[in-house]
């Protein structure tokens, strides 16, 4: 987990991220008993972020999946801008780069699920809006969105945002 909450200027800091860290840790480490690793700095520079990713790959043998993990969940919290993460030293790092770096360097996880939770603001982002009436499954909605995004050449990565009164339960089961 990468959680950037301190940005040098008090007005830019995000104190609520510590709550997010606590909640993610409670869910993934305590309840699901997953290996949970977090960058120890709240004021993470771009070089710290890159170093953390490389160190995690090495320390947990993710290149060859020596420990037989069954997937990866990478969480990034902080300020963002137009598909980018902003480090505390105001340097930008592409979210797509983080995702492709993780996928390219972790060859041992190639055929395993990878979930990327990016909790940043993403201003100036093209949005695709689709509305559905009842009797349409969430899976069908996601397939339609994926098809539409591919047709407008936005790449493989997409974010699904739900703004309705219906609640979906997403359940993670340990194998």
Q: Please report the DSSP string for 26-87 in residue order.
A: IIIIIIS-------S-SS--HHHHHHHHHHHHHHTTTTTTTT----EEEEEES-EETTEEEP
119 burial (CB, 10 Å; 0-12 / 13-18 / 19+) is middle
Are 63 and 7 found together in one domain?
A: yes
| Number of domains comprising the chain | 2
What pLDDT is attached to residue 124?
47
Question: Are 155 and 125 a contacting pair, CB within 8 Å?
Answer: no
pTM value > 0.75: no
pLDDT band at 115 (very low <50, low <70, confident <90, very high): confident
Are 87 and 153 found together in one domain?
A: no
Strand pairing report for 84-86 and 92-94: antiparallel
**Domain membership of residue 73 as a residue range:** 2-125
| d(C-alpha 98, C-alpha 13), whole Å | 22
CATH code of the domain covering residue 110 = 3.40.50.1460
**Which of 18-22, 96-100, 125-129 has the weakest average pLDDT?**
125-129
**Which of 34-38, 70-74, 100-104, 142-146 has the weakest average pLDDT?**
142-146
What pLDDT is attached to residue 164?
45
In this predicted structure, the answer to whether residue 106 has a pLDDT above a threshold of 70 is yes
Are 136 and 50 found together in one domain?
A: no
Q: Within 13 Å, how many C-alpha atoms sit on residue 96's CB side?
A: 8
Last residue of a domain, one of 88, 106, 125: 125
Q: 151 versus 113: which is more confidently predicted?
A: 113
Distances (CA, A) of 60 to 55, 66, 172: 8, 8, 22
Are 88 and 146 found together in one domain?
A: no
């Amino acid at each position: 987990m990468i959680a950037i909450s301190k940005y040098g200027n008090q007005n830019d800091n995000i104190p609520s991220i510590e709550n997010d860290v606590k909640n993610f840790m409670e869910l993934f480490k305590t309840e699901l008993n997953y290996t949970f690793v977090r960058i120890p700095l709240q004021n993470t520079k771009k070089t710290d972020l890159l170093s953390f990713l490389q160190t995690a790959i090495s320390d947990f043998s993710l290149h060859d999946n020596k420990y037989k993990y069954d997937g990866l969940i990478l969480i990034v919290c902080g300020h963002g801008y137009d598909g980018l993460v902003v480090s505390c030293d105001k340097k930008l790092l592409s979210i797509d780069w983080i995702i492709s770096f993780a996928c390219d360097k972790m060859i041992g996880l190639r055929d395993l699920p990878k979930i990327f939770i990016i909790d940043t603001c993403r201003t100036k982002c093209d949005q695709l809006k689709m509305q559905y009436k009842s009797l349409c499954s969430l899976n069908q909605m996601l397939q339609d969105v994926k098809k539409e995004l591919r047709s407008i050449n936005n790449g493989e990565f997409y974010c699904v945002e739900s703004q309705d009164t219906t609640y979906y339960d997403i359940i993670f089961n340990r194998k």
